[in-house]
Amino acid sequence: MRRRRMIAGAGAALFGAPAVAAESTRIPAELPDGTREVVHFVNPSDKRRMLCLTDRPPNYATPVNVFTDAVTPNDRFYVRYHLTGVPMSVYDMDGWSLSITGDAVERPVQMRLSDLLDMPSNEVLAVCQSAGNRRGFVDPHVAGVQWTDGGMGCAVWRGPALRDVLKAAKVKPEALEVWLGGADKPAVEGTPLFRRSIPMEKALDGDTIVAIAMNNAPLPVWNGYPARLVVPGWVGTYWMKHLTRIEVTSIPLTNYWMETAYRVPAGMFPVERPFVSQATETTVPVTELVVNSLIADPLEGGEVDRSGFNIRGVAWDRGSGINRVEISLDGGHSWQDALLDRPLAPYAYRRFILATGAMRPGTYRLMCRATSRTGERQAERLKINPGGYHDNVPRAISVVAA
């Protein structure tokens, strides 16, 4: 745990000892009718209190107060599944192996966990975020899991680089994509298997790893045990859990999950390295994260001390780094700079804090907005798309100073 303590406490000299925010117990009022009536807090096995959005498949959001820390604990890290047939314990993964095949490898390879453990290991501190994070706040509402702010987390991931794993199969020059498959399965015949792909450029990036550890512990079952792909800077749909199958191919993957799901109008969002083999003239796959930020303390509807209080939270982007975070106390009419913690890693959260000083009694609408080192700032208005992806509009929360 030494590595995690070092990272989590990296800002102690600047921010003081890490504080514990009040526990979030409120169901966000912005969630659509029908959703608010069914979501509830649960304690899944090996997890602490989470917000259950769906039971089948399991989708659990992290309470917002957890994001006062730069590293999300394993037992508070969000859970996202697309299919209901999911491994529920380590025993469901007995006999696990990882196959590496495809028309763009010279020889198929079958790996065991011991093979991955014997390989050189990389470590990356990175945000994993659902592409639909905050979908529940989109207006007009769209179909899909109605995520709150908690469809994300940041962890220290460790395992061999994917490019080193692929070397065992001797990738051919004509390789175009890496197709990915996991152990979760559909409950109903005819439901498409959850399969995704990434371009060779991203597969060969040294920060793309086959993670076998998370925050210096084995991967939790809920988060992909015994191995999952980690694709820093990209949305979580590519971070295949319970990874069992890799195919290196010379052709694009064509299935529901690539051709229909997780797509947005071409040019809608900034992308540094487009997924060219999956793009069309009209749509492109959702890939890279957009700049975003979140206030984790105080909580919506909370009472704060009029003599002054701290506003704390995190900001993140696809890897260029956060350069500035601004805070508004009046719903976006005026802004002031927050104090930033030291940057921990390109793909990590960057914590921020603002001490308000003395306040007049009354209600305040707090907002935050982040700007990346490339100059990208959070959107002023929501970019409407059918999947409700990439909601990075600054969101106001109300508190009462008394």
The pLDDT tens digits of the residues spanning 319-347 come to 999 999 999 999 999 999 999 999 999 99
Domain housing 270: 2-285
Quick check: bond before 298 cis, omega within 30?
Answer: yes
What does the alpha-carbon distance between residue 157 and residue 209 come to, in Å, rounded to a whole number? 8
Task: Specify the pLDDT at position 20.
Answer: 62
Residue pair 339/352 in contact by the 8 Å Cβ criterion: yes
Domain closes at, from 254, 285, 316 = 285
Q: Reply yes or no on whether the pLDDT at 56 is more than 80.
A: yes
CATH number of residue 13's parent domain = 3.90.420.10
Q: Verify that 144 and 209 share a domain, yes or no.
A: yes
Q: Verify that 188 and 249 share a domain, yes or no.
A: yes
> To the nearest whole percent, how much of the chain has pLDDT over 90?
91
What does the alpha-carbon distance between residue 311 and residue 316 come to, in Å, rounded to a whole number? 17
Q: Verify that 180 and 119 share a domain, yes or no.
A: yes
How many domains does the structure of the chain reveal? 2
Q: Verify that 313 and 250 share a domain, yes or no.
A: no
- Tens digit of pLDDT for each residue in 247-274? 999 999 999 999 999 999 999 999 999 9
> To the nearest whole percent, how much of the chain has pLDDT over 70?
95
Confidence of residue 9 (pLDDT cuts 50, 70, 90): very low
CATH number of residue 327's parent domain = 2.60.40.650
Q: Verify that 150 and 93 share a domain, yes or no.
A: yes
Q: Verify that 222 and 296 share a domain, yes or no.
A: no
Can you name the residues that pair with 367 across neighbouring β-strands?
Answer: 328
Task: Specify the pLDDT at position 190.
Answer: 85
Q: Reply yes or no on whether the pLDDT at 16 is more than 90.
A: no
What does the alpha-carbon distance between residue 248 and residue 170 come to, in Å, rounded to a whole number? 10
Q: Reply yes or no on whether the pLDDT at 13 is more than 80.
A: no
pTM comes to 0.94
Task: Specify the pLDDT at position 22.
Answer: 84
Q: Verify that 341 and 203 share a domain, yes or no.
A: no
Q: Verify that 299 and 248 share a domain, yes or no.
A: no
Task: Specify the pLDDT at position 333.
Answer: 97
Task: Specify the pLDDT at position 17.
Answer: 45
Domain closes at, from 259, 285, 311 = 285
What does the alpha-carbon distance between residue 70 and residue 353 come to, in Å, rounded to a whole number? 12
Average pLDDT over residues 187-201: 93
Task: Specify the pLDDT at position 322.
Answer: 98
Q: Verify that 193 and 271 share a domain, yes or no.
A: yes
Task: Specify the pLDDT at position 188.
Answer: 86
Average pLDDT, the chain: 94
10 Å Cβ neighbour count for 397? 19
Task: Specify the pLDDT at position 15.
Answer: 57
Q: Reply yes or no on whether the pLDDT at 7 is more than 60.
A: no
Average pLDDT over residues 101-113: 98
Q: Verify that 172 and 269 share a domain, yes or no.
A: yes
Residue pair 374/324 in contact by the 8 Å Cβ criterion: no
Confidence of residue 187 (pLDDT cuts 50, 70, 90): confident
Domain closes at, from 248, 264, 285 = 285
Task: Specify the pLDDT at position 229.
Answer: 98
- Tens digit of pLDDT for each residue in 62-94? 999 999 999 999 999 999 999 999 999 999 999
- Tens digit of pLDDT for each residue in 216-248? 999 999 999 999 999 999 999 999 999 999 999
Q: Verify that 262 and 332 share a domain, yes or no.
A: no
What does the alpha-carbon distance between residue 78 and residue 47 come to, in Å, rounded to a whole number? 10
Q: Verify that 173 and 39 share a domain, yes or no.
A: yes
What does the alpha-carbon distance between residue 357 and residue 93 come to, in Å, rounded to a whole number? 53
